[in-house]
């Protein structure tokens, strides 16, 4: 499959100014847990960056693109297309907007991760029950995928029951960082050379609310 053919199936893979790599994006309203948390002012979801800034200013273009990416998950050649898009890529992020849809969706992503061993994948998620059910059904997480469970509430830790073996992330506003403090605020909002989010050895990454 050529890259042009792959793009017709999964769309382009864009790299924003902050990340050192491309990412997969979904509609914000496709979040299950996140959409519920949005009404809580103490949750990061109430301040979702994916619903403001560029995404809000260019919603007429961004929203249809995200909807296309969601629909693309059902295409029978989705994995083949994504493998083509990830050739030569060292890092990738799931998702810069949206979240896991189901256990089947997580299995689909993990199948792709296994098919792209040259690429280190990072997946922040608030869908703890999806991950929990996946593991309970005997699923395994590849070493080139870091699933980072994201705290529901600002200035709180993240210790989901039964998932303590996984890495986490927290958001601080008034509290001190927990574990590794994301350096992006001191780097023009960019990752630069930092790859802590992709590392399974970094137990918790703490982000300042943005």
In a domain, 59, yes or no: yes
Q: What is the mean pLDDT of residues 183-198?
A: 94
In a domain, 181, yes or no: no
Report yes or no on whether pTM surpasses 0.75. Answer: yes
CATH number at residue 61: 3.30.750
Quick one: pLDDT at residue 18?
86
In a domain, 88, yes or no: yes
C-alpha distances (whole Å) from 58 to each of 61, 131, 194, 205 are 6, 32, 29, 30
In a domain, 110, yes or no: yes
In a domain, 180, yes or no: no
Per-residue burial over 53-87, b if 16 or more Cβ lie within 10 Å, else e, is: eebeeeeeebeeebeebbebbeeebbbbbbbbbbe
Express each pLDDT in 102-127 by its tens digit: 999 999 999 999 999 999 999 999 99
How many Cα neighbours within 13 Å face the side chain of 178?
A: 20
In a domain, 145, yes or no: yes
In a domain, 196, yes or no: no
Query: What is the domain count for the chain?
Result: 1
Alpha helices in the chain (DSSP H): 3-10, 33-37, 54-57, 59-72, 78-85, 103-115, 128-136
With beta carbons less than 8 A apart as the criterion, state whether 69 and 26 touch: yes
What percent of the chain is modeled with pLDDT above 70? 95
Express each pLDDT in 33-90 by its tens digit: 888 988 899 898 888 876 666 555 556 778 899 999 999 999 999 999 999 999 999 9
In a domain, 194, yes or no: no
What is the extent of the structural domain holding 70? 3-150
Beta strands in the chain (DSSP E): 22-25, 91-97, 120-125, 145-150, 167-172, 180-181, 204-208
């Amino acid at each position: 499959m050529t890259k042009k053919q792959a793009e017709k199936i999964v769309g382009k893979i864009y790299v924003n100014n902050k990340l050192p790599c491309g990412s997969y994006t979904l509609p914000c309203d496709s979040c299950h847990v996140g959409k519920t948390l949005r009404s809580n002012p103490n949750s990061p979801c109430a301040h979702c960056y994916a619903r403001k800034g560029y995404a809000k200013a260019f919603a007429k273009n961004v929203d249809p693109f995200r909807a296309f990416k969601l629909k693309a998950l059902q295409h029978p050649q989705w994995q083949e297309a994504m493998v083509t898009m990830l050739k030569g890529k060292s890092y990738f992020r799931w998702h810069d907007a949206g979240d896991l849809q189901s256990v089947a969706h997580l299995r689909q992503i993990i199948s792709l991760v296994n098919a792209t061993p040259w690429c280190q994948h990072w997946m922040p998620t608030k869908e703890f029950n999806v991950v929990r059910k996946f593991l309970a059904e005997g699923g395994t997480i590849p070493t080139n995928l870091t699933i980072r469970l994201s705290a529901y509430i600002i200035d709180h830790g993240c210790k989901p029951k039964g998932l303590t073996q996984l890495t986490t992330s927290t958001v601080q506003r008034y509290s001190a960082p927990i574990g590794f403090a994301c350096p992006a605020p001191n780097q023009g909002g960019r990752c630069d050379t930092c790859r802590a989010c992709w590392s399974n050895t970094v137990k918790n990454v703490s982000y300042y609310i943005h």
